[in-house]
């Protein structure tokens, strides 16, 4: 199995990391999207309150948790039709992305589609199942042979593009005509930097205006790692087609894929509290402004980056050269080729560093 998987890409950044670490004022590591601010107190309190957990938790999650998630979709995502029966907590969304093709029973001869520039785990999930990874720049590229499962990701990692309501509607119509399951990875939805006419967050695949009120063949995957500084808790959930979710629950029961009880309680607290999400978003907005303006002053060009935790930046030269230029300033960024060949001239610069480190990076870029 491991031979079928790609080389873990971060291993190829060792030289750039060593160079950045040699900077007299220390490295500013903007290569990964790992949150650095404290887990909000309201969520730490929920964890502590649930510390007594001698029994096995429910794989499917308790009814009150699933109802709270359904209410969050209605309140924050304009998705009023989420049935609590079609909700499932998962052990972080990476786990779900990596195992969904397998849990759906896909295997050799089946294809899994995903964007040509994408979070690498969509590809990994296809390979784990023994299915064929089919990256594509547009749905037209699939021609007559549609994949069984299609991943979309909006706002996108790495480049922060947002898919609007019309685009999502077309994806749903295309998939329904062909019997394709659509899994929509939406973990940056609360971190939308546009003045958005579509609503408070980036549109969901389950938005009433997108899916026409039916969740058939649709799954939305949502992680609390980014918006709630919960990456260390492994807290995420899936919602949508109740039949699909029931199938997933059955396999996950057999496989012991269970979100720990204290984390289930934290997920409930997180989806019921909008204040901590707004506060964290304001912190990222300031960091983004400072870094973006420094990059522009230093003659970088920024594409997309409408939402999410990254700036997708280019100097118009090969990404590994730009990574080396930044490393010489003590800044570590992720080369765009980590995410597909189409990223070969961009770097992904994360906003996930302290205010102090972001300011250090901004100063180095413009001095």
Binding residues for ligand PLP, per CB under 6 A? Answer: 33, 92-94, 97, 119, 153, 157, 185, 187, 223, 225, 231, 236
> In this complex, which beta carbon is closest to ligand PLP, that of residue 68 or of residue 231?
231
> In this complex, which beta carbon is closest to ligand PLP, that of residue 97 or of residue 163?
97
Contact assessment for residue 365 and residue 349, using Cβ atoms and an 8 Å cutoff = no
**Residue given tokens 């649709």 in the structure block:** 218
| Pairing mode of beta strands 28-29, 331-332 | parallel
State the minimum distance, in angstroms, from the CB of residue 93 to ligand PLP: 3
CA atoms of 86 and 105, how far apart (whole Å): 19
> In this complex, which beta carbon is closest to ligand PLP, that of residue 92 or of residue 335?
92
CA atoms of 189 and 187, how far apart (whole Å): 6
Contact assessment for residue 342 and residue 314, using Cβ atoms and an 8 Å cutoff = no
Contact assessment for residue 165 and residue 203, using Cβ atoms and an 8 Å cutoff = yes
State the minimum distance, in angstroms, from the CB of residue 231 to ligand PLP: 5
CA atoms of 231 and 280, how far apart (whole Å): 14
Contact assessment for residue 305 and residue 317, using Cβ atoms and an 8 Å cutoff = no
State the minimum distance, in angstroms, from the CB of residue 229 to ligand PLP: 11
State the minimum distance, in angstroms, from the CB of residue 308 to ligand PLP: 8
> In this complex, which beta carbon is closest to ligand PLP, that of residue 304 or of residue 365?
304
CA atoms of 364 and 298, how far apart (whole Å): 10
Rounded (to 5) percent helix, strand, coil in the chain: 45, 15, 40
State the minimum distance, in angstroms, from the CB of residue 202 to ligand PLP: 12
> In this complex, which beta carbon is closest to ligand PLP, that of residue 78 or of residue 223?
223
Summary count for the chain: helices (H), strands (E): 12, 13
Secondary structure letter of residue 292 according to DSSP: H
CA atoms of 150 and 247, how far apart (whole Å): 18
CA atoms of 18 and 41, how far apart (whole Å): 35
Q: Burial-class residue 216 by CB neighbours within 10 Å (0-12, 13-18, 19+).
A: middle
State the minimum distance, in angstroms, from the CB of residue 42 to ligand PLP: 19
State the minimum distance, in angstroms, from the CB of residue 142 to ligand PLP: 21
> In this complex, which beta carbon is closest to ligand PLP, that of residue 233 or of residue 360?
233
State the minimum distance, in angstroms, from the CB of residue 273 to ligand PLP: 18
Contact assessment for residue 334 and residue 17, using Cβ atoms and an 8 Å cutoff = no
> In this complex, which beta carbon is closest to ligand PLP, that of residue 262 or of residue 318?
262
> In this complex, which beta carbon is closest to ligand PLP, that of residue 231 or of residue 358?
231
CA atoms of 163 and 179, how far apart (whole Å): 21
> In this complex, which beta carbon is closest to ligand PLP, that of residue 161 or of residue 315?
161
State the minimum distance, in angstroms, from the CB of residue 336 to ligand PLP: 14
Secondary structure letter of residue 226 according to DSSP: T
């Amino acid at each position: 199995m491991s031979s079928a998987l790609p080389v873990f890409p971060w291993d190829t950044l060792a030289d750039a990391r060593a160079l950045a670490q040699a900077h007299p004022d220390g490295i500013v590591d903007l290569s990964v999207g790992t949150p650095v601010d404290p887990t909000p107190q309201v969520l730490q309190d929920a964890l502590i309150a649930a510390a007594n957990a001698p029994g096995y938790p429910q794989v499917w999650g308790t009814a009150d948790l699933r109802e709270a998630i359904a209410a969050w979709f209605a309140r924050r995502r304009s998705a009023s039709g989420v049935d609590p029966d079609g909700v499932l907590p998962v052990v972080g969304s990476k786990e779900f992305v990596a195992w969904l093709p397998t849990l759906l029973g896909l295997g050799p001869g089946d294809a899994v589609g995903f964007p040509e520039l994408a979070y690498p785990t969509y590809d990994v999930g296809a390979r784990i199942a023994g299915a064929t990874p089919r990256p594509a720049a547009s749905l037209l590229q699939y021609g007559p042979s549609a994949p069984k499962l299609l991943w979309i990701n909006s706002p996108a990692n790495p480049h922060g593009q947002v898919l609007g309501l019309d685009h999502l509607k077309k994806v749903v119509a295309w998939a329904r005509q062909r019997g394709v399951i659509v899994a929509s990875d939406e973990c940056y939805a609360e971190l939308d930097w546009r003045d958005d006419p579509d609503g408070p967050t980036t549109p969901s695949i389950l938005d009433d205006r997108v899916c026409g009120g039916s969740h058939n063949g649709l799954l939305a995957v949502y992680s609390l790692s980014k918006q709630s500084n919960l990456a260390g808790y492994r807290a995420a959930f899936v919602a949508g087609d109740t039949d699909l979710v029931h199938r997933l629950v059955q396999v996950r029961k057999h496989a012991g894929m269970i979100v720990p009880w204290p984390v289930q309680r934290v997920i409930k607290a997180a989806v019921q509290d909008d204040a901590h999400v707004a506060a964290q978003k304001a912190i990222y907005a300031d960091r983004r402004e400072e870094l973006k303006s420094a990059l522009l002053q230093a003659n970088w060009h920024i594409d997309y980056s409408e939402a999410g935790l990254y700036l997708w930046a280019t100097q118009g030269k090969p990404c590994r050269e730009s990574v080396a230029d930044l490393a010489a300033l003590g800044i570590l960024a992720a080369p765009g080729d980590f995410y597909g060949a189409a990223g070969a001239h961009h770097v992904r610069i994360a906003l996930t560093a302290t205010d102090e480190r972001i300011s250090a990076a901004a100063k180095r870029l413009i001095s």
